[in-house]
Amino acid sequence: MRIPLIPRILKWSTLLATCAWLAGCATAPGKDYSAYRAAKPASILVLPPINDAPEVQASASVLSQATLPLAEAGYYVLPVTLVSETFRQNGLEIAGDIHEVAPAKLQEIFGADAALYLRVTRYGTTYQVIQSATVVSVEARLVDLRTGTQLWDGRASASNQEGGNNSGGGLVGMLVTALVNQIVNSATDAAHPMAGVATNRLLAAGTPNGLLYGPRSPLYGKN
């Protein structure tokens, strides 16, 4: 007796979908934390972020908000003002040049265990006809200054449109909202709060594929 065509198609479709799901689970990428755990960094030097966005304030905005999540994660973070002044006294004021300094030299000058290399890839507001979106995207690498080994890397983004921006006033309401948002965003740095959200997402410890807790945290060694 022959099996009807439709049940056979459903049977094979289910089987293929199950195999694809299992394959996806088996190949899901995960970070290797072995070097990170072996290095046991306790202090972090945050370098001025390289800015790939057109807004000149992007680097300072992200840098000003990078130390808090690191401190809350249990690390000692070298004071940003002290670090900036030290670089300035040595003729280094451009982030790209600072990132080129050898890890061993940074360790010699600052005595930190690791350095955080930041890069801002998006920062600012994109205007459209009936809406605007403010987006900040940041990438990071944590490098052991004693050996030059990369311990961790990650990226995160934040947008003021994540919760949706539905207008109950139809097209006219959307146009008015877009006009108000454009005026507000032009008068203020609307991306700065989003930089805080993106930076916290990137550097908060205990998240999937995120930083490990530092030795000053009660959760140290538990993730």
Query: pLDDT (tens digit, 9 = 90+) per residue, 10-37?
Result: 454 444 444 444 444 433 457 899 999 9
Rounded to whole angstroms, how far apart are CA atoms 132 and 165? 10
Question: Do 137 and 155 form a contact (C-beta atoms < 8 A)?
Answer: yes
Q: What's the pLDDT score for residue 181?
A: 54
What is the phi/psi pair of residue 132, to 5°?
Answer: -140, 150
Query: pLDDT (tens digit, 9 = 90+) per residue, 158-214?
Result: 998 886 554 444 444 455 455 555 555 554 468 999 999 999 999 999 999 999 999
Indicate whether 44 pLDDT > 60.
Answer: yes
Task: Identify the CA nearest to 115 among candidates 82, 88, 161, 75.
Answer: 75
pTM of the model: 0.78
Q: What's the pLDDT score for residue 179?
A: 53
